[in-house]
Structure 1
């Protein structure tokens, strides 16, 4: 029996050994096969070909790789890059060692339990064209990195900004392919000694830099682009020194900051937290950067501060600084933004949340906003690049009373009564306290002073006919003006009630007075030549219509053509304007005056008289001013505009003082046609004349004219149209009297019962 047991044990032992041996041989063969096939896969084009199936989106390249056990991979000179949306990213590493969770593959999950990388560099840039996302569908593989660590992060680049140093980082990430959710688990980075550069120039030298960040699981539909910040939690701490900055004006006239090659250093210290779209309470920033000026003995500094509790407190300071283009910039701001949320879609919505004080001097490439805020009037345009000196106080985003701005130079265009005034102005704007009952709370006021200006006819389409200096335009809002008012039926009236303006200038040069012929009945009254001076003081409303004021034209040695006679001498026309009808363009011009001095005139018979003068005072008068096109539209009139000119109608009563009645008598006939006693009237001295005047288009009517003094009496009525003249004249010298019936070029004398005949003739104006 013992012999039998001994034989059984001997025969069993070799079988167990054989099984173990065979198993070991199979495992060794499998390991050798994996070692061979796995390394062939990693070190031949087969591996990159199999992994980079969508190279336009993601590419992975390496110089060499090694795997000695399933799930364990080591790679050298690793290069991973991709294109997502508008972002190009690339990660380079000297070496990486990772462990793949093999069992997770059965769950369609490519999971790296741990990855250790060395010599890491990261590049992020903007692509030339955006990459459209892949269509979303269910069931995509999940790529998960539980923990990526590196003790030798060398650099990170974001376009022109580069972070250089030696850092430690830990990163966790997961993404389901084909539009599934993405998540960044809590990740950290830390640098002890680092440098931030911009386009190769040092911007910051950091003693410490640490960051912590995470991103909630989300799909592309839930958050994309900048909206990913709404699912992000981050914290950044740093402490270091800043280099000097240089202010430069770019081609678009904006101010940009660039690192300056200068030995001066500032400081930067901050702790900034971000909580899903909000700055975290407790965040703070203190930044100071020297700004080398044109004078090396006087270096300015840019100071910026941030503190966050329930609100955001901002401080910024820049003393007067001269830029490379010679512009002086300055800034002193202390603002509080209500709440700590940051609007990612429209940062401008931060303005209604802002309160505080802002003082500064800054360059703007467009100044249009000044007109929209201080003088929102359709007839006024402000534009052009320029510098702003501002002292603004904000409450809930609105400037309050006491705020002011000054602009050394701004382009001004103002259209007034069919004329365009333009030039470069100095502007001063101030917000005044509102009147009692004004809902707006403030009344903007803007004062413009044009050192030089020009006036152009036909709203800028015609010729430049006036050039002057020192034009002043003062604009004040009665209350807030909404441009949409002008689109309403009563918009012109309501706009006029919302704004008032005053326009003043003196002794502007009019090189050729003939430009005013467009306003005159040219067949009866026109300028033939001469230079003049134009002055004015006008009050305007919000629609650009004149409310009241005066315009004065003075000319010396002026040549005129009046009712067929040539005149030469000095003129002075002072027109007093007061708006009578906003819609119809009618004016009360009571008190207007015309002065003629040292006049030489040539009568129809060729006789020349010198030293004549006249004073015309319009006691009562109305002026109807129609711009081109208005005549046709007004009351359905079918008449055509006269060469596109502005039409002027005048009706009124005048008082005239003149040296003698010679001019009046010459309108009816030559001196030789009158009785021999009539010339005595001319020599009888100064005459006082009253009468009615109507001037409509090219028709001039004088009616109920009464000229007299202690020795004579003259009465007349006259209608002039084109070359036609019709009218009646009565003259008395003592017991002598006569009447004249004028019909175009024919005149008939009435010597018997002259006064009765004259009184029997109908009046021309009814």
Structure 2
């Protein structure tokens, strides 16, 4: 019996010695691992994805570890994160390691700070592969969370947090178990500015098991369940309006208030969620007058999102706002915020200077070719139902920059505008906008910095269905201006066909009245150019006189610059010119009517059609072909034979100007002509008949050939220049 007991005693002593030796070996190996470079190198084999550093540690029991001064960071796709702690204690389950599972039942940390920021570059996720390790952190807790950073925002104070998560490596699923975050007496700052103080924050959050690649970025919000309960004291703001219509904002000490009680379930705000902001606001206008005010914003959720914003009107000169909006839907307004706001119902009354005014004006008119831009003073009273402005809505804008792209030109100027909604006879709401540019300039659309005429009181009026989805297609517009000044008519030379027809000097006036639709198509319109003592160079001759052009435009396309020109006319008066041979003319006049025609306004310009002309005599037409002294003597009597009427066809395309099938006549003579001017080249044919006399002139690049016999037959044998 004693022998058996002695044997058992030796076995127990041996087992104890082995256990003690194993424990001693664990103490040695574990603490050496924690306090040597080997442990650091083993955990930091992929520093581009994850690194962990610590400054000493200890372990006294298998699976239980304590580390000091822990620093971790990681990079996943476009997210970078980091965490630091003065001390970390935790337990690692050892047996699951045999099954490629890192199970950590609990971790406790002291003196914790953490950050989550957007990376400058994306680190692509590796393709999913089987056999990845399973990470299972059941509970990570700290009672001394000092600072949390999200992007540029930082929360500092006395915090507590408890987080649990699971993740399978190599692209496997992950989950965020129900977790909590709390702060007391915290501060919220961004850069050097402290936006909130005395913050009390309590939050819960969880994500169900999912594959991250299937829910990238904000798509994870569709899975998130979270609550936020926040209360804090805000700073104040000061807005200062400068002389150019821009606001400069500065932070002031303040005692505003922010309260939020929000609940989110799979991307949807829960009924009962609410947010309220009371912000002290000091406004300084462009004259330096300061007014203290308070901006209030309240948002509540039931089956929709309800917004209420107020900024009291204290003196009628500084900004004010009274808005009540019901926005459909209770999903987080991230991707579709603009669309949902455009479907809102409610009332908005506002007054003040807006740094960007285009979005407000877009409620009343939508057209790519015109707009109100930049800053301006707004006085608005809007009534909305399902995104539609209702009868009685109005908008007044002043000191705004307006533009209109018309006829290949960009009109710009400081403007005032008035818009309103009124029902038509059928009860349908119609949107009217009336814009007046008190002073404007116009420049080619492709060179908007080089204006070539200026004027006053350009008026732009639009009328459209007030329903936003039909506004553009139903819009009708009218642009009017009178007697805009053209200091130098030579600016139009790039639009003329070639150097054989160009302005040599003189100024003029331009008036316009155009009607367009939402796509910029011209239904009809008029343009009138008036010039006195205009100098023209035509086919080597210099002309001086008064010019009036009345263009009737219809059925055109603004963007293509195409117009019908029927019923357009032009006239020249008091014209003096000298033929190449020295013969002078004065007091010449002509009026031109276009029966049918079409023009393309954009460079290179082109036009064509049929014309009728009344002229004092045919002297100018003959001078285009030859000097009077080179023709038979009887031709002079034809020139002096009185008023003539001409009809024909014409084409102006690129650098080519053509007159064809032209016939000028009266009771005493007939002149037939065809002429083409192309760059420096001139060629054409002329036949003049006076009684039984006739002569033909063949013009080829300045060389002339005269036909005295069979002139009519020769002319008829020549090919036409136009079909």
Q: Settle same-fold status: TM greater than 0.5.
A: yes
Aligned to 1:589: 567
1:229-628 to structure 2, matched below 5 A, reads 229-245=221-237, 260=250, 262-294=252-284, 297-317=290-310, 333-342=323-332, 345-351=335-341, 353-358=343-348, 359=350, 361-364=353-356, 374-376=365-367, 380=369, 386=375, 389=378, 391=380, 393-399=383-389, 402=393, 404=395, 406=397, 408-410=399-401, 412=403, 414-416=405-407, 419-424=408-413, 426=415, 428=417, 430=419, 432-433=421-422, 442-443=430-431, 445=433, 447=435, 449=437, 451-456=439-444, 460=446, 466-470=452-456, 472=458, 474-476=460-462, 499-512=476-489, 515=492, 529-540=505-516, 544=520, 546-559=522-535, 568-569=544-545, 571-575=546-550, 577=552, 579=554, 585-589=563-567, 592=569, 594=571, 596=573, 612=587, 622-627=595-600
SS of equivalent to 2:530: strand
Hey, what's the Cα distance between the residues in 2 that align with 1:37 and 1:396? 71
Q: Which runs of 5+ in 1 are unaligned?
A: 1-7, 322-327, 486-494, 630-642, 707-713, 731-738, 749-766
8 Å contact from structure 1 (residues 93, 121) kept in 2: yes
8 Å contact from structure 2 (residues 565, 599) kept in 1: no
1:19-58 to structure 2, matched below 5 A, reads 20-58=12-50
Aligned to 2:611: 651
Hey, what's the Cα distance between the residues in 2 that align with 1:398 and 1:578? 34
8 Å contact from structure 1 (residues 465, 515) kept in 2: no
Flag the 1:726–1:167 CA change in 2: closer, same or farther, 3 A: same
8 Å contact from structure 2 (residues 388, 468) kept in 1: no
Hey, what's the Cα distance between the residues in 2 that align with 1:119 and 1:693? 97
CA positional deviation for 1:67:
1.7
SS of equivalent to 2:269: coil
Flag the 1:13–1:149 CA change in 2: closer, same or farther, 3 A: same
> Quick one: which of 114, 123, 126 aligns to 1:131?
123
Deviates more, 1:405-414 or 1:57-66: 405-414
Hey, what's the Cα distance between the residues in 1 that align with 2:512 and 2:153? 59
Aligned to 2:700: none
Deviates more, 1:68-77 or 1:504-513: 504-513
8 Å contact from structure 1 (residues 61, 80) kept in 2: yes
Hey, what's the Cα distance between the residues in 2 that align with 1:374 and 1:19? 97
Flag the 1:510–1:699 CA change in 2: closer, same or farther, 3 A: farther
Hey, what's the Cα distance between the residues in 2 that align with 1:254 and 1:466? 29
Flag the 1:91–1:720 CA change in 2: closer, same or farther, 3 A: same
SS of equivalent to 2:252: coil
1:197 aligns with 2:175: no
Q: Answer with 1 or 2: which has the greater Rg.
A: 1
8 Å contact from structure 2 (residues 522, 556) kept in 1: no
CA positional deviation for 1:69:
1.9
8 Å contact from structure 2 (residues 456, 484) kept in 1: no
8 Å contact from structure 1 (residues 278, 342) kept in 2: yes
CA positional deviation for 1:356:
3.1
Hey, what's the Cα distance between the residues in 2 that align with 1:84 and 1:364? 38
CA positional deviation for 1:245:
3.9
State the Cα deviation string for residues 72-99 of structure 1 (Å, max 9, x = none).
Answer: 2222212222222221112111122223
SS of equivalent to 2:298: strand
Aligned to 1:99: 91
CA positional deviation for 1:156:
0.8
Q: Which runs of 5+ in 2 are unaligned?
A: 652-657, 676-683, 698-704, 709-723
CA positional deviation for 1:160:
1.9
Aligned to 2:715: none
CA positional deviation for 1:119:
0.9
Hey, what's the Cα distance between the residues in 2 that align with 1:518 and 1:726? 31
Hey, what's the Cα distance between the residues in 2 that align with 1:65 and 1:665? 107
State the Cα deviation string for residues 328-347 of structure 1 (Å, max 9, x = none).
Answer: 98765432221211265554
State the Cα deviation string for residues 594-626 of structure 1 (Å, max 9, x = none).
Answer: 4735x667799978787x5869596xx514233
Deviates more, 1:303-312 or 1:400-409: 400-409
Hey, what's the Cα distance between the residues in 1 that align with 2:76 and 2:635? 107
RMSD: 5.2
Hey, what's the Cα distance between the residues in 2 that align with 1:497 and 1:354? 22
CA positional deviation for 1:314:
2.3
Flag the 1:371–1:102 CA change in 2: closer, same or farther, 3 A: closer
TM-score (norm 2): 0.75
CA positional deviation for 1:283:
1.1
Aligned to 1:159: 151
8 Å contact from structure 1 (residues 455, 464) kept in 2: yes
Hey, what's the Cα distance between the residues in 2 that align with 1:221 and 1:675? 92
8 Å contact from structure 2 (residues 259, 275) kept in 1: yes
Hey, what's the Cα distance between the residues in 2 that align with 1:522 and 1:700? 20
Hey, what's the Cα distance between the residues in 2 that align with 1:307 and 1:68? 54
State the Cα deviation string for residues 437-487 of structure 1 (Å, max 9, x = none).
Answer: 89x96556463637232354xx7589979412126252535669999x9xx
8 Å contact from structure 2 (residues 551, 565) kept in 1: no
Hey, what's the Cα distance between the residues in 2 that align with 1:559 and 1:177? 84
8 Å contact from structure 1 (residues 330, 362) kept in 2: no
8 Å contact from structure 2 (residues 186, 198) kept in 1: yes
Deviates more, 1:62-71 or 1:272-281: 62-71
Flag the 1:114–1:304 CA change in 2: closer, same or farther, 3 A: same
CA positional deviation for 1:177:
2.9
Hey, what's the Cα distance between the residues in 2 that align with 1:80 and 1:496? 59
Flag the 1:209–1:720 CA change in 2: closer, same or farther, 3 A: same
CA positional deviation for 1:208:
1.8
Hey, what's the Cα distance between the residues in 2 that align with 1:219 and 1:546? 56
CA positional deviation for 1:675:
14
CA positional deviation for 1:273:
1.3
Hey, what's the Cα distance between the residues in 2 that align with 1:481 and 1:164? 49
CA positional deviation for 1:49:
3.2
Hey, what's the Cα distance between the residues in 2 that align with 1:284 and 1:496? 40
Hey, what's the Cα distance between the residues in 1 that align with 2:138 and 2:495? 87
> Quick one: which of 98, 107, 111 aligns to 1:115?
107
SS of equivalent to 2:486: strand
1:60 aligns with 2:52: yes
